[in-house]
Structure 1
Amino acid sequence: MPQRNKMRTALPGGSGGSTAPPSFTRLRTALTVFFALDGFLFAGWVVRIPAIKHRTGATASTLGLALLGVSAGAVITMMLTGALCRRYGSHAVTVVCGVLLSLSIALPARTGSALTLGLVLLVFGAAYGGMNVAMNSAAVDLVGAMRRPVMPSFHAAFSFGGMAGAGLGGLVASRLSPGSHLLALTGVGLLVTAVTGPALLRSGTPAAAPAQEPGVAAGERQPHRMSPHTRRVVALFGVIALCTAYGEGALAEWGALHLSQDLRADPGLAAAGYSLFALTMAIGRLSGTALLERFGQTRTLVAGGATAAVGMLFGALAPTVWLTLLGFAVAGLGLANIFPVAVGRAGALAGPDGVAAASTLGYGGMLLGPPVIGFLADWRSLPAALTTVTLLAATAAVLGFAARNAGTPERFE
């Protein structure tokens, strides 16, 4: 029997009846640490890309092809991880992927060509994609058991972990070689996994009663066999995740260039653009639980998409650096909670498979953003290309409203 179902009778409303609800503090803390570790390790790799490009002698185009290894590995693994979570439990898969991610992050700095770099990045991407699906699946189970919308707090931990990883990478870039830096990150990752993993493995996998599909009794739902209706709804939430991830990818790759090239900002100020975006996104996610409890999921999705659309309109078209930075900050606040809510709703409907499907679509948006922006920038201009972030954020708001009655409770009570 899949591990995710083992504790169902011990929860309020489960078939076992009156058992007192367990304390989820330890489990929530352990999951928060793994989300932060995921962001920390990924950001640590990203900041060393320029140095590894120089080491391998890759051109811009060959480096771009090599970096597709991360994407390919992640996307392939994401869909497989849902089945692994059902079979072995999302907690165990999270811990295993934490070990693999920690080990694989040291590999890119050991390569000597773009080809070998691309091959090892397949492994790194596979571990990264698997960990994202597994820990999000575990978080969805915990959210359902707690009956509180705490999903954004986990994604806030990811954002803060990424900021810490990028900041540390910037500090040590001139002092440590990429090989030494990434090997040190392997040590950090293995240590954190060794300390936190046992707490995750000892915690039973909580699962609240799943959201009922139309025409299907709660006890009859088969989460591993999605009905056509459920599949369509999960795809809808995946597209919502794609719309917001598109903006994250676009700002990560093109925000600094827009500030320096179009607005003549100095390098330090240009680099601060994405940092400000990431900071406001993290702050927005910290407040996400309170927003969801007060306003519900639909209002949070719609308001977030509309806010991000307005912010990016300023970020793309404002004539001054400071107005552009303000636009980036507002966009970060708006986008903050859309992805975690969309993935959480997909997981509530279809378990790990729902998380895998929505995450894969969402991750595809992050991959799609940078090349689309580059193509449009060559065709028209970079500011015009960045307005596509506004368009997709507005689309997320519209789809969020359209999904208002899609199978999960509007509020957690």
Structure 2
Amino acid sequence: MTAARGRSLRSWTAAVFAVYFASGLATSAWLTRIPSIADSLGLGPAALGALLLTQTVAAFASVSASGVIVLHLGAKRTLALFSTMVAVGLMVLGAGVTFLQSLPVTVVGLLLFGLGSATWNVAANVEGTALERGLGRSIMPMMHGFFSIGTVLGAGVGSVAAATGVPVVWHVSGMAVVVFALVWSSLPYLQGAQREALLRRQDLQPITSQLTIITGTLPVVSRDDDGVARTPGDGPDSSGSRSGAAKDGETPLSMRAAWRDPRTVLVGIFVLGMALTEGAANDWVALALTDGYGAAESLGAMGYGIFVAAMTTGRMSGTWLIDRFGRIFVLRIACSMALAGLAVFAFSPSLTVGLISLFLWGLGASLGFPVGMSAAADDPVKAAANVSVVSTIGYGAFLGGPPLLGLLGEAVGVRNALAFVMLFVVLSFLLIPWLRPLEAEREGPSGRGGTPSR
């Protein structure tokens, strides 16, 4: 590798890390101020749950269209457009909460945030996948680690802002400016589009052909030199020009078959339980600390920071742990930790113990969603369809979780309502055997496949 190429790759890597870091900052900017948002708008738990649902619905709609958007705009232009949308959404949200105390304006801000953040994340994953190909090695866990670092730092800023009485509008608007500056200063160093063009000239499979796997939603349509539109699984030569393509008679993108596959559906239910475990903390921990434990808003933001710090720790160490001890063993320990942390947080009379339990909860919840996605993609021939099914089922937690927990919180209190999530953690624990690696199952106990027993 020449010195110039090495510098170029380092700059590209730093730019991608910055994009992920900025996404974490943006996410934590408003989540840490949920107690202030609820107080300013006069929202109880049920109404707050409905408000949170607006962001989730917008994100779900956005991610469903993200494949087409990234395909037509490219990752760089998509990041430019949708990070701007996120920044504007944060400012509108802040104005609605502080200046206008208007629920409709706040809803508009959350809709803009949801629409922008979901497609931003998909575009970042596309650019990150291109970077991995350029580097010739996997660094995706580190990329998502930088997102988590952003959430931790953002939670710290939110805690200070809440403790010092900084109005929501100035806090989230300041973070919006930082996020906008980080992303736009990184754009000139992103090289995914150039690399993809080079791959097309070399007749190799470009990154955008993997958008079905990255988004889990839409098939990608490209055009051959003769102008004929084809999906990645089509073409006269199925053996040499397509990476991971199906052989004759196989149907790798058969959604009907994926929905009928028991393992895929059960992996999806596992992901749903763990996604609810993670999402419940993101949405409700700060309010549970202020309303349930009677803590100050700054401690509510700190509690969220503890949880995301634990998530960061778990995800940064998860790859090594799974390689060392096996997927099944690690997931059983993780689910047990999540269940224990959640139970202590819901029922402990001590605020100090409750804060400590958040770290245990975060560690346990950290690996469920990403490992579930990996399990869905165990069979490379069926990966796109299986990941799509698992993603769709998992998103049910983000769609149904906020209003359900809000209604329960209205009746029994937010902290007690979180105990309901324990049922889903138990369900996910019982489904862990279905996440055994398929390759290890095929090899049996005599091969490399001691892994399933772990």
Q: Tell me which interval the TM-score lies in, with the shorter structure as reference length.
A: 0.7 to 0.9
Deviation at 1:30, TM superposition (A): 3.0
Task: State the partner residue of 2:115.
Answer: 126
Task: State the partner residue of 1:389.
Answer: 421
Matches of 2:168 and 2:292 in 1, distance apart? 31
Distance 1:80 1:226, change over 3 A: farther
Matches of 1:104 and 1:293 in 2, distance apart? 40
Deviation at 1:161, TM superposition (A): 0.8
- Alignment length, in residue pairs? 389
Task: State the partner residue of 2:435.
Answer: 403
Task: State the partner residue of 1:17.
Answer: none
Which stretch shifts more, 121-130 or 174-183? 174-183
Deviation at 1:37, TM superposition (A): 0.8
Q: Which amino acid aligns with 2:173?
A: L
Deviation at 1:35, TM superposition (A): 1.8
Matches of 1:374 and 1:125 in 2, distance apart? 19
Matches of 1:303 and 1:324 in 2, distance apart? 20
Task: State the partner residue of 2:17.
Answer: 32
Deviation at 1:378, TM superposition (A): 5.6
Distance 1:287 1:24, change over 3 A: farther
Deviation at 1:400, TM superposition (A): 3.7
Paired residues of 2:310 and 2:363 also in contact (CA < 8 A): yes
Task: State the partner residue of 1:330.
Answer: 360
Task: State the partner residue of 1:184.
Answer: 174
Task: State the partner residue of 1:204.
Answer: 195
Deviation at 1:81, TM superposition (A): 0.8
Paired residues of 1:238 and 1:359 also in contact (CA < 8 A): yes
Distance 1:86 1:402, change over 3 A: farther
Within-5 A mapping of 1:6-405: 26-49=11-34, 57=41, 59-60=43-44, 64-90=49-75, 92-111=77-96, 112=100, 113-139=102-128, 150-172=139-161, 174=164, 177-202=167-192, 204=195, 218-220=244-246, 225-230=253-258, 236-256=266-286, 272-344=302-374, 346=376, 358-359=390-391, 361-377=393-409, 385-405=417-437
* TM-score, normalisation: structure 1: 0.74
Paired residues of 2:376 and 2:383 also in contact (CA < 8 A): yes
Point out where structure 2 has 5 or more consecutive residues left out of the alignment: 1-6, 197-205, 214-232, 442-448
Distance 1:368 1:354, change over 3 A: same
Which stretch shifts more, 199-208 or 154-163? 199-208
Work out the percentage of aligned pairs sharing the same amino acid.
26
Deviation at 1:361, TM superposition (A): 4.4
Matches of 1:175 and 1:396 in 2, distance apart? 40
Bigger CA radius of gyration: 2
Which stretch shifts more, 142-151 or 190-199? 142-151
Paired residues of 1:280 and 1:329 also in contact (CA < 8 A): yes
Cα deviation digits, residues 225-256 of structure 1 (max 9, x gap): 44434455665554333322212232344445
Matches of 1:97 and 1:223 in 2, distance apart? 34
Matches of 1:299 and 1:137 in 2, distance apart? 31
Paired residues of 1:251 and 1:274 also in contact (CA < 8 A): yes
Paired residues of 1:140 and 1:347 also in contact (CA < 8 A): no
CA RMSD of aligned residues (A): 4.4
Deviation at 1:164, TM superposition (A): 1.6
Matches of 1:353 and 1:116 in 2, distance apart? 38
Q: Which amino acid aligns with 1:195?
A: S
Deviation at 1:397, TM superposition (A): 3.4
Matches of 1:54 and 1:266 in 2, distance apart? 13
Q: Which amino acid aligns with 2:145?
A: A
* TM-score, normalisation: structure 2: 0.69
Paired residues of 2:33 and 2:301 also in contact (CA < 8 A): no
Which stretch shifts more, 265-274 or 236-245? 265-274
Matches of 2:353 and 2:32 in 1, distance apart? 27
Matches of 2:177 and 2:295 in 1, distance apart? 37
Deviation at 1:146, TM superposition (A): 7.0
Distance 1:379 1:179, change over 3 A: closer
